[in-house]
Amino acid sequence: MVTSRWTAAPAPTASPRRRGAVLERAILDAALEQLGTVGWNGLTMEGVAAVAQTGKAAVYRRWPSKEDLVVEALRTGLPRLDSAPDLGGVREDLVALCRTARDAMFSRPGLALRSVIHECDQSGAERFQALILEGVVEPTVRLLHEVIARGIERGEVRSGAANGYVFDAIPAMMMYRSKVCGSEWNDPDLDEMIDQLMLPLLRPDAS
């Protein structure tokens, strides 16, 4: 009996067709990837569709414009700032909160958002600037309220420190230093900002 040396190759298995949330997540991830490689000016709906391995009609059906797609990709991709740290002391809480905000700013979506603002025109920049405020700055300020209010209750923070100027100090400093000075806000930099800027503003004996 003669046996053949050749065997039939297995039939290729078709990949399951992605739908709904799975396909949307693939498209949004592809948009973030394209922002990181070709930037805002080089990003196209066709290019995103190719990276996501879908048709461009699937992209346009969900997001009618490049701006709409990128806003959604960044909004859903930015790390969430949901809860204030409670480590037993106002300094420890502020340091932990600043590190969380720093990680959001320098995450892949955070870096993509900042690059978009630098590349797109004025009207687009204003739209994405609002995303920074809603996604990073405003949540940080809200959690600062919690940290400082808790510090007042413990007697670590003077009662008059709960004001808008104090709440704005950390986000303003972090945004200014990262945008104008190119600071990446490593841990020692954050510690120094808390020790030399925030604690003197907050301590009970401050005037």
pLDDT in tens, 105-146: 888 888 888 778 788 877 777 778 788 788 878 888 899 999
pLDDT at residue 9 greater than cutoff 80? no
- Where does the chain hold its CATH 1.10.357.10 domain(s)? 78-202
Q: What does the pLDDT read at residue 87?
A: 95
Query: Whole-number mean pLDDT of the chain?
Result: 86
Percent of the chain's residues with pLDDT above 90 = 52
DSSP 47-103: HHHHHHTS-HHHHHHH-SSHHHHHHHHHHHHSPP------SSSHHHHHHHHHHHHHH
pLDDT at site 13: 40
For 55-75, how does the pLDDT look when each residue is reduced to its tens digit (9 = 90+)?
A: 999 999 999 999 999 999 998
Fold of 20-76: Arc Repressor Mutant, subunit A (1.10.10)
Which class would CATH give 78-202?
mainly alpha
Where are the CATH 1.10.10.60 domain residues in the chain?
A: 20-76
- Say if residue 78's pLDDT is above 50: yes
Confidence label for 16 from pLDDT (cuts 50, 70 and 90): low
CA–CA separation, 143 and 113 (whole Å): 22
CA distances from 104 to 3, 109, 112, 135, 163 (A): 63, 8, 11, 9, 24
Q: What tokens appear for 138 in the block?
A: 């405003």
**Region 8-33: what's the mean pLDDT?**
73
